[in-house]
Amino acid sequence: MTTPLLDAATLRAIVVAFRDALNEHREAINVLNVYPVPDGDTGTNMALTLDSVCEEVDGAGDDMASVCKAISHGSLMGARGNSGVIMCQLLRGLSETIGGHEGDGVNGTVFAEALGSAAAAAYGAVGNPVEGTILTVAREAGEAAIAAAATTDDLSAVVNAARIEAAASLERTPTLLPVLADAGVVDAGGAGFVLFLDAMLSVIDGTPIPEPEVPAEAPVLTQPAAASGDGSKDVSELRYEVMYFLDAPDDSIDAFKAAWAAIGDSIVVVGGDGVHNCHVHTDDIGAAIEAGIEVGRPHKIRVTDLLEEVAERDWVNEALGHTPPPAKHVPTAVVAVCMGTGVEAIFRSLGVQHVITGGQTMNPSTAQLLEAAEAVNADEVVLLPNNKNIIPVAEQVDAQSSRSVRVVPTRGIAEGFASLLQYDPQADAADNQARMASAAESVVAGEVTQAVRESNSDVGPIAEGDWLGIARAGIRSVAPTLVDAAVGLLDELIDDTHEIVTLIAGSGADAATTAAVTDWIDANRPEVEVEVHDGGQPLYPFYFGIE
């Protein structure tokens, strides 16, 4: 029996099924990542990308052209992360071919053509294509679909052939990319693409989508992970992921890609007609943004520290849910970004009028920061990003706001607390910015988290489960216990000039552990006073501020 042709309603159902499958398989895909700290990357980014696609499709017309246009636009505007942007290009490529077949519908032959074209377009969008990734899986699936379409135009048969080859290609990815072999995993993005074909089969012929399989143990690296370029980078390098939309002429994109190639890798640029979604891994955030400014207008800039990612959450909804009513009018109000109910309470007690829930990879967008700045009852605004990833985004707000917005470039919660001791709501934003920034800079900051991958660092090898003491300069202590990592970090950071240590305990620090750390300070730095606060922040049991 021949499978019915693919129409607009079926395509809409496939997109929804893919989104639902990604949400179900998100953790199984996330755990395939190989960075050594808590990471909510590929599965989360692809799921969020499909959320955007489904929102666009929900508002589209019932004809094939409208649905395809919605898929193309939704994926472009919602794409997140390297694999999310590549998946965006694959969806856009499929939509471009399928969208022209409203009258006679889409059979297996047309789908094979669309998949092959989409894979080719995805390769073209990547600055330095790497085999053993989602690109390889999509290309080989497309080749299998084209081969199957030579003997049948049945849609189910062609999609099934693509799915079988995609799964086989996914299993081969570790033979093409050493970092995957080192960690004992397959490519996370490729796994997401296989799930797309699973979702398609589930809609067109009722094939059940496989249940997610989360490994009993997280993957580990037996040697430093090489970057996708020349293999000379380990996981401590090229640590920033920079993404933004770029309004620029299409003929300027080749030069833009070349500029990015000089400062990073994992380059993906998708889009057209003057609007492009751009992604790069780099050590130089400023240069990555400046390259966009040279050819057009970058906006909705997001910067993620790949070694400080935390577990995914719907932080946008959390931020909206935690937004309080505006405070009474003051000349200058403060907007702060943070996580943890205790941390939020402390910020409010220090005079912050508006808190946005976020931090680490849960970086608020420029639009969210702008909305908060516009919502406060004040003439001027000071922003406290409290995370180095968020600073470049916060600095975009002033140009978009109806009021003066100044940024105090706080890189952590301890700096945020210190800066607020110099906050004067009756002074203007510029005066507050100067005094608050000086106070923040005087703080020596540190934090402790747990490694979820085996890796290396400047202070020695890291085993899965080790605790990491991290300062501004990077990892400064590695230990098998939380207490040992914390005191190792403090032993290096506290010197004879310091008088106060502010300890912010997170949800992973119990009373006994916190007491052990404060006891060490009393015994080894008796001249230093300790202030302990219950922050409630996830995944980082201790934040330290040393003055």
Residue 340, token pair as written in the block:
């943890």
State which of 251, 276, 305 marks the end of a domain: 305
Cα torsion 296, 307, 321, 503 to 10°: value is: -130
Cα torsion 383, 387, 388, 389 to 10°: value is: -100
CATH number, position 22: 1.25.40.340
Could you tell me if 179 and 41 lie in one domain?
A: yes
Backbone angles phi, psi at 495, to 5 degrees: -125, -175
Residue 23, token pair as written in the block:
């949400």
Task: Give a yes or no: residue 463 inside a domain.
Answer: yes
Could you tell me if 284 and 331 lie in one domain?
A: no
pLDDT by residue, tens only, the chain of 547 residues: 567 788 889 999 999 999 999 989 988 888 786 544 433 468 877 888 898 899 899 988 888 999 999 998 888 887 777 777 888 889 999 998 898 776 667 999 999 999 999 999 888 888 778 899 899 999 999 999 999 999 999 999 999 999 999 999 999 999 998 878 877 889 988 999 999 999 999 999 999 999 887 554 444 444 434 333 333 344 335 657 788 889 999 999 999 998 998 888 888 888 888 999 888 888 888 888 889 999 999 887 776 655 444 333 333 334 334 334 445 789 999 999 988 777 887 888 788 999 988 776 577 778 888 999 998 999 999 999 998 888 888 888 898 889 999 999 998 888 898 899 899 999 999 999 999 999 998 889 999 988 878 888 888 899 989 999 998 888 999 999 999 999 999 999 999 999 888 898 887 888 888 889 999 999 999 998 888 888 878 788 999 999 8
Quote the crossing angle between the two packed helices 134-149 and 155-176, to the nearest 10°: 150
Q: How far apart are CA 211 and CA 346, in angstroms?
A: 43
Task: Give a yes or no: residue 232 inside a domain.
Answer: no
Could you tell me if 168 and 69 lie in one domain?
A: yes
Total structural domains within the chain:
4
Cα torsion 303, 305, 308, 309 to 10°: value is: 50
Could you tell me if 181 and 70 lie in one domain?
A: yes
Q: How far apart are CA 281 and CA 208, in angstroms?
A: 36
Task: Give a yes or no: residue 337 inside a domain.
Answer: yes
DSSP-derived 3-state class of residue 177: coil
The neighbour count for residue 296, using CB atoms within 10 Å, is 18
Q: How far apart are CA 430 and CA 347, in angstroms?
A: 20
120: enclosing H helix or E strand: helix 108-125
Task: Give a yes or no: residue 168 inside a domain.
Answer: yes
Could you tell me if 164 and 139 lie in one domain?
A: yes
Cα torsion 45, 49, 55, 58 to 10°: value is: -130
Report the predicted TM-score, pTM, of the whole model to 2 decimal places: 0.53
State which of 416, 441, 466 marks the end of a domain: 441
Task: Give a yes or no: residue 120 inside a domain.
Answer: yes
CATH number, position 365: 3.40.50.510
Cα 256 to chain centroid distance, Å, stands at 22
Task: Extract the runs of DSSP E, i.e. beta strands, from 215-274.
Answer: 240-247, 264-272
Backbone angles phi, psi at 443, to 5 degrees: -85, 135
Tally helices (H) and strands (E) across the chain. Answer: 20, 16
Could you tell me if 433 and 455 lie in one domain?
A: no
CATH number, position 259: 3.30.70.1090
**Residue 118, C-beta contacts closer than 8 angstroms, at least 6 positions apart:** 89, 90, 91, 92, 93, 94, 96, 97, 138, 142
Q: Which of 292, 280, 301, 286 is nearest to 252 (CA)?
A: 292
Domain extent at residue 462 = 446-546
> Long-range contacts: 62-65, Cβ < 8 Å, 24+?
62/8, 62/9, 63/8, 63/102, 64/7, 64/8, 64/11, 64/98, 64/99, 64/101, 64/102, 64/106, 65/99, 65/100, 65/102
Could you tell me if 456 and 436 lie in one domain?
A: no
Q: How far apart are CA 234 and CA 361, in angstroms?
A: 20
Residue 501, token pair as written in the block:
């240590």
